[in-house]
């Protein structure tokens, strides 16, 4: 009965909370008081809505690292950070391009029921993160202008996923809800042009689908895709250190 109550409460929290965007889900984990390290690469595309500019498609790649600490046999806390590569924004008439950016994330995950060979597992994850992109050129009708603009995107969200073990594979799938607060600043704004505008992610509900492949004890490769709320594909390699 006690476990049933916790499951209902945590599933509800995962359904109404909103999720960080760059950190892959930590589906497998080690023993209590152990660490898990990870390097990952991500390609993402999603839509942003701005009241004064309409809808803009955001696209970027990211390379980063994460460190997770197993607080208990089921609970993990993870920190991640890294670089944004080739950030782009596209509207119906303009394309904004940049060379770099950075991000950082914090995630808490609870493996309510760790997966086994006989029973599926349930994982609830909550997170918050921030990413900053810098744009130095704008393309309009084939002409390119130099600019000095910055976008800061605060993400928050959560996911509930089911996972199961099959030999060396641990596939997982589940819903996720995500949202963001975006501020787009222009350091060269003049005349009637506003120095900054605010926006948010266009779609908030999506799904996450992934699989962890165990190469050897303590060493895994993970592939993860996200759809509907965003379109992303990420690959990572991680290892345990006790």
Domain with 192 in it: what CATH number? 2.40.128.90
pLDDT digits 0-9 by tens, 64-96: 999 999 888 889 999 999 999 999 999 888 999
pTM: 0.76
| Alpha carbon distance 182, 189 (integer Å) | 18
pLDDT digits 0-9 by tens, 175-217: 999 888 999 998 886 665 668 888 888 888 999 999 999 898 8
Tell me the two tokens of residue 61. 């790649």
State the total domains in the chain: 1
Confidence of residue 26 (pLDDT cuts 50, 70, 90): low
Confidence of residue 43 (pLDDT cuts 50, 70, 90): very high
Say what the alpha-carbon torsion angle 203, 204, 205, 208 is, to the nearest 10 degrees.
100
What's the DSSP call for residue 218?
T
By residue range, what is the domain housing residue 172? Answer: 2-241
Average pLDDT, stretch 18-26?
Answer: 43
Question: Is the predicted pLDDT of residue 172 greater than 60, yes or no?
Answer: yes
What's the DSSP call for residue 7?
H
């Amino acid at each position: 009965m006690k476990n049933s109550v916790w499951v209902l409460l945590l599933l509800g929290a995962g359904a109404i909370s909103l999720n960080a965007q760059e950190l892959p889900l930590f589906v497998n984990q080690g023993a209590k008081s152990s660490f898990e390290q990870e390097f990952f690469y991500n390609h993402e595309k999603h839509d942003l809505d701005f009241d004064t500019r309409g809808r803009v498609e955001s696209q970027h790649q990211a390379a980063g690292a994460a460190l997770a600490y197993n607080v208990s046999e089921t609970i993990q806390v993870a920190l991640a950070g890294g670089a944004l590569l080739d950030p782009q924004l596209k509207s119906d008439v303009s394309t904004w391009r940049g060379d770099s950016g950075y991000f950082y994330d914090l995630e808490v995950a609870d493996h309510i029921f760790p997966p086994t060979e006989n029973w599926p597992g349930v994982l609830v994850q909550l997170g918050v993160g921030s990413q900053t992109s810098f744009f130095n050129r704008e393309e309009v009708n084939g002409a390119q202008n130099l600019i000095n603009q910055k976008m800061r995107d605060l993400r928050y969200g959560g996911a509930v996923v089911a996972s199961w073990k099959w030999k060396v594979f641990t596939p997982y799938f589940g819903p996720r809800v995500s949202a963001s607060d975006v501020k787009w600043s222009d350091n060269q704004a003049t005349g009637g042009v506003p120095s900054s505008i605010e926006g948010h992610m266009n779609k908030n509900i999506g799904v996450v689908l992934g699989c962890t492949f165990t190469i050897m004890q303590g060493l895994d490769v993970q592939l993860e895709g996200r759809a509907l709320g965003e379109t992303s594909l990420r690959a990572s390699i991680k290892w345990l250190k006790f």
